[in-house]
Chains A and B, each alone.
Chain A
Amino acid sequence: MDAVILARLQFAMTIGFHFFFPPITIGLAWLLVIVETIGWRKKNEIYVKIGKFFGKILALTFAVGVATGIVMEFQFGTNWAEYSKFVGDIFGAPLAAEGVFAFFLESGFLGLYLFGRDKVSKGVHWFSGLMVALGSTMSAFWILVANSWQQTPAGFVLRNGRAELTSFYDAVFNESMLIRFFHTIDAAIISGAFIMAGVAAYFLLRKQHIEFSKAAMKVAVIVGIISSLLELFPFGHEHAKQVAQTQPEKFAAIEGLYNEEDGSPMVLFALPFDNPPELKGVIEIPGILGYMVFGDPDAKFLTLAEVPKEDRPPLWLTFVSFHNMVILGMYFIGIMLLAGYLIKKDKLWDNKLVLKAFVWSMPLPLIACQLGWITAEVGRQPWIVYKMLRTSDAISVTVSAGEILFSIILFGLIYLMLGSLYIFLFRNKLKHGPEPIEVKGEVA
């Protein structure tokens, strides 16, 4: 197989797998800040217990996230050397800043948060939890700076055969950066809320740790309602508007705009096809899209037919990923509102159907995150830096297809194992519940 495809496959696999974990970490970290605040200020032992238990889940998730995250930092150089040479002047800085401003904070204080509960005052311990949340959020900030620059590059000039920085501020706050940051962080908070809610639902179904689970469920549902509504509006809406304005080709692939049409419809359902790009079996509402993006139902959008063939993003994958993400987003709002209503009526605690739905919904926000990420990255193709550098010109010239294949198989197997172990240990943690494990062996 061709080295470009293999290099892309490897990147998709390593970043896709890694990206299951940071949303849980970021989301849980903020939920833990809330829980620890209540536990500390109101001296409520139940909340301290919730903090300890979800702290362990955070630690497990963090370990796999860190382990798979190191790969990210290295593989721009290993697999994408030409890209690294082209963008190093700009792209390296956010990665370094992520280390300096985010990773040190997150990992330093995570050690204190997990292992230092008895060694420091309650206030310092609470602070360490806050720093973990802040650190993980800053890490998302810097990585989105780097990725958004690929989407909407700014603050540079082409010189000496590469992109050279002219304004750090412009490069950081490029057109897509802030809205993508909010969109992604909110997705992470939704992911955390569904993990907490799912765990609580699991215990409630088994009639275990009732008080613990009710308290955790309430926190998760309140956070879940707010965050899932915000994800639709303003974050999702504004992000779509930004894409339509700054990356019209991607927007065309997202919304399935493939030939000249009247009145910019919003597609509710369709079967997408590539080569040539088209939709079949379309159900649509005319005019809505133009109204939502430009406030004008007759607004004209760029369509894929108008884009030269070699510059077209693939329709099928972009369209399918985006629409399924949106469907999931609607589901999150629905189930969270329903749970909120049932809690208010005091009817959630023995509602088996809804509780079961919560247990099985735990991975769904993570899948939505993956779909969103695919939309963002595949929709940018064939560019690695939008309209500046093609993905096919960005790979390492010294690395052979065979070497890449070797590493794909190696990491594929390792990730399969890590993924299975994570799920296995997560389930173990659930089965055991929040009671502390007795210390085995001699204590030194």
Chain B
Amino acid sequence: MQWEVVIGLEIHAQLATKSKIFSAASTAYGAAPNSQACAVDLGLPGVLPVFNKEALRMAVKFGLANGCDITRRSVFARKNYFYPDLPKGYQISQMDHPIVAKGELEIELEDGSTKIIGITRAHLEEDAGKSLHEDFHGMTGIDLNRAGTPLLEIVSEPDMRSAKEAVAYMKKIHSLVQYLEICDGNMQEGSFRCDANVSIRPKGQQEYGTRAELKNINSFRFVERAINVEVERQIDVLEGGAKVVQETRLYDADKNETRSMRSKEEAFDYRYFPDPDLLPVEIDDAYIEAIRATLPELPDAKKMRFIDEYNLKAEDANTLTSDRGLADFFEAVVKTGGDTKLSANWVISELLGALNKGSMGLAESPVTAEMLGDMIKRIKDNTISGKIAKQVFAAMWEDEGDADAIIEAKGLKQVTDSGAIEKIVDEVLANNPAQVEQYRGGNEKILGFFVGQVMKASQGKANPGQVNQLLSAKLKD
């Protein structure tokens, strides 16, 4: 039997507001337990929520970036359930009237093809606190610092047909929320996480199979693995003649398996109803247009511009625009260094390589865009060769100064004096008579050997173009 996989994602993006969605407490990560939970976050008797309008602005921004309908009158609802880290016994969320309604997003697959994924809705809600089960000797500790942190829950249509598509979609949203500066995207700290609804059906069948919801996955790699292992499980179940049951499952990354958390029968009845403590959120066109005016250039548009304006390959443009900071960095390098192709190569291979090696973020790079641009300028004006530039870059990475200072201090200036180069060329040819014979006998590939020898003798400083020219001329004599 040929199975088709059907996946829908619910992504929770923590909005980057300074204070919580319904209180004035700080949302900063990593503070001492319960030090950032005020009376409202603790759900003390008598307290009331007050909506943080910054969260509204961010949600609307997200909706506009995806061409979604923006709800003019959205309503907060209470989702009722008991859990120790849910202080009020209900979560304030949105049910029937979410702030962001239908829209869509284009994802790009590995083979370069594209696909449209529908966005069903995105709604605002508050996060719960954290239950800490370790270190309390059989008891549970509650940290309510996170309680009341604003979340945007982005719900997709069941439009994805493989784990890879799901990851591509998740990455696209991840990049987008950072472009929009509405979420820091930090997956380790839980600022960006997702639930995956996974089902399978015989290929060609119209109706969906029974789905399982995989809860709280917080990395791209785990999303892919969790979906794949769940799909395998469902295939085994169905091919074994049994039925998939609707349930919530948890992905265990250590064992690479999914486990049942609760079945449909055990599912909570959340008893949603409009929150009487909060008025409906009413916004008008002027408000929406004012936010539209603040939208930055979005990844797809930026990518097209990079291809047109800088003449980049699609793949390079993709890489450079995957992150807004990286794209800005690249453009700053071009502005200083002038050469778009060199700039793209240096940013993608050298800079990203060095950052990856050091597990660093772009913000931590010791080499600024201006420094890299200045160095590229020196490649362009033949002060250094591309090869020497690697040494210069390594020195800049070690905080040894800017390109000019390093070139000066280390005497890396390229030799362009043709007399001096000629002298070395002559020496190399004289020292390698056998290879000269081979060349003249028709093995022209051996030219590279002579270039290498000359570069080595000049400690890499000879201008490679001149070396090539001189060698070719002399060997033809």
Asked whether A and B interact, the reply is: no
A residues neighboring B (CB under 8 Å): none
B residues neighboring A (CB under 8 Å): none
